[in-house]
Amino acid sequence: MTDWDAVVSQHVEIVRCTVHRIVGNHADAWDCIQETFLEAVKVDRREPVRNWPALLRRLATVRALDFVRARSRRRGQNGAEAELAQTIGREPSPSSNAEASELAGRLRTAVGQLPRRQAQVFCLTYFEQMPSTEVAEQLGISPTAARMLLSRARQRLQRFLEPFYEAVSQEDERT
């Protein structure tokens, strides 16, 4: 039988950080953390878990993305796009910390607009820094499929973020 006290105490930080990277500072992050561990209980019943950190990072990513997507749906598609347009339209902040925070926020909003599988592959690759073979194993797809999904995710993000990064690149060139 799995020692859940140990699993939670050893990995709660990993789950918390993974959720935070996608959801940001949001009160609902707590729900995502809880749901991640409850999902892990179900997985553990089905099959022996070989790599707890990898499994929990994958489950937390999926939960957090579902949460972000549900939030977008609640606001309506137009609302989500408006939010993205609004963040893109803003002038870059003079303070570098504030600028980084805004950049992070923009990326999060755009990732929330990606199709489910593409968003999962993107987050596991970029935010969780997993190699494509591990991403593929965690999502039950082939490494080729994982690479293809990542490439599509990047293409979409490029489209979503184009107005903003063009503004940033012009700013960079000026400075």
Partner 1 sequence: MKMEDREKLHHDDFFDRFLDRAVDAVLREPPPEELPPEQVDELTAVVRRAAEKPRPITLLKRSKNMKRIAQMTIATTVLAAIGIFAFWMVSGGSDNLAFARVAEALDSLRSATFDITTEAKGENGQPPAIATGKGFFLAPSHQRMEVTVDMGYEPAIKAAEAAARRAKGADSPEGKAAAKAAAEAMTKAVADLPKIKFKQITISDGQTDKCITLTPMAKIAKVMDMKKMKEDMKKAGKLAKNAPPDMFEMVRRIVREGSSGSGEKVERLGKKEIDGRETVGFRTRFHGMNMILWADPETACPVRIESSSDMMNGVHMVMDNFRYDVDLDPTLFSLEPPKGYSTQTMNMKMPVEEDLLNTLRTIAEHNKGKFPAKFGMNDEVMNALMPPYKPVMDPEMQAEMKKVMEKITAKYGGEEKLRAKYGKGKKLPPEIMAEFMKATMTLQQKHMQKQMQKSMKTTTPLIRKRTRGITFYTMLKPENDPHYVGGGVKLGTPNRPILWYKPTGGEKYHVIYADLSVKQVSAEELPKLPQAEDNPKP
33 binds partner 1 (CB under 8 A): yes
* The token pair that represents 114 in the structure block: 């990606």
Binding mask 125-164 for partner 1 (x = CB under 8 A): -xx--------------------------x--xx--xx--
Rounded CA-CA distance 8/33 in Å is 10
Closer residue to partner 1, CB minimum distance, 116 or 162 = 162
Part of the chain binding partner 1 (CB under 8 A), chosen from 67-75, 78-86, 98-106, 130-138: 98-106
50 binds partner 1 (CB under 8 A): yes
CA quadruple 79, 85, 88, 89: dihedral, nearest 10: -120
Query: To which H or E segment does residue 83 belong?
Result: helix 77-89
Q: CA-CA distances (angstroms) from residue 104 to 5, 28, 48, 74, 83? A: 33, 18, 36, 22, 14
Rounded CA-CA distance 124/25 in Å is 19
Site residues, partner 1 (CB under 8 A): 1-9, 12-13, 16-17, 20-21, 25, 29-30, 33-34, 37-38, 40-41, 44-45, 48-50, 100-101, 103-104, 106-108, 126-127, 154, 157-158, 161-162, 165-166, 168-169
